């Protein structure tokens, strides 16, 4: 769950600090490269289950690339990556607006959500879809977004994240 108040965000960040691993900032390029490789691999995957999993992994790696580039640390904890991105405000407003517009065009926004929230909510939505593909038997999956649409969306998200200076 994404913290909704500054106080909740600060508490969440303090809990996450132990998951952050310092690393040389120049290594962000390797995280980016892994993200691009994973999204390409996802497009070639025959199984929707593994395609969605690889697509989400690509997004996870690109978010870590941004953390490494800007702050010099990464995290293996998916929630802590989102928390750190939010806490430090390192996704520029311009990038958030581009992501928001992209999500609007793809009819991914179901309500009036501010651009800052839409990006982080969408990461959570993609993670939930990945979890459904990965952990539930086919008969119990209630998946609203097919794997090929997840891949397309993640490809666009990592492209936009890769543009962050």
> For the chain, what are the domain ranges?
6-162
**Rounded to whole angstroms, how far apart are CA atoms 18 and 38?**
27
Q: Are 158 and 62 spatial neighbours (Cβ–Cβ below 8 Å)? A: yes
For the chain (length 165 residues), average pLDDT per consecutive 10? 85 96 98 97 94 96 97 95 93 86 68 62 87 88 82 93 90
Predicted TM-score (pTM) of the model is 0.88
Q: 6-162, which class in CATH?
A: mainly alpha
**Rounded to whole angstroms, how far apart are CA atoms 91 and 158?**
12
């Amino acid at each position: 769950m994404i913290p909704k108040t500054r106080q909740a965000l600060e508490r969440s960040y303090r809990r996450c600090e132990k998951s952050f691993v310092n690393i040389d900032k120049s290594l962000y390029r390797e995280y980016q490269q892994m993200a691009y490789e994973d999204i390409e691999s996802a497009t070639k995957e025959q199984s929707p289950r593994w395609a969605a999993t690889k697509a989400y992994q690509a997004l996870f790696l690109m978010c870590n690339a941004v953390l490494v580039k800007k702050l010099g640390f990464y995290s293996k904890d998916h929630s802590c990556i989102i928390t750190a991105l939010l806490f430090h405000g390192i996704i520029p407003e311009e990038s958030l607006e581009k992501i928001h517009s992209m999500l609007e065009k793809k009819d991914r926004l179901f309500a009036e959500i501010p651009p800052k929230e839409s990006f982080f909510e969408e990461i959570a939505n993609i993670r939930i879809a990945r979890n459904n593909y990965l952990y539930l038997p086919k008969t119990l999956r209630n998946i609203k977004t097919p794997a090929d649409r997840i891949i397309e969306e993640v490809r666009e998200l990592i492209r936009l994240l890769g543009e962050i200076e």
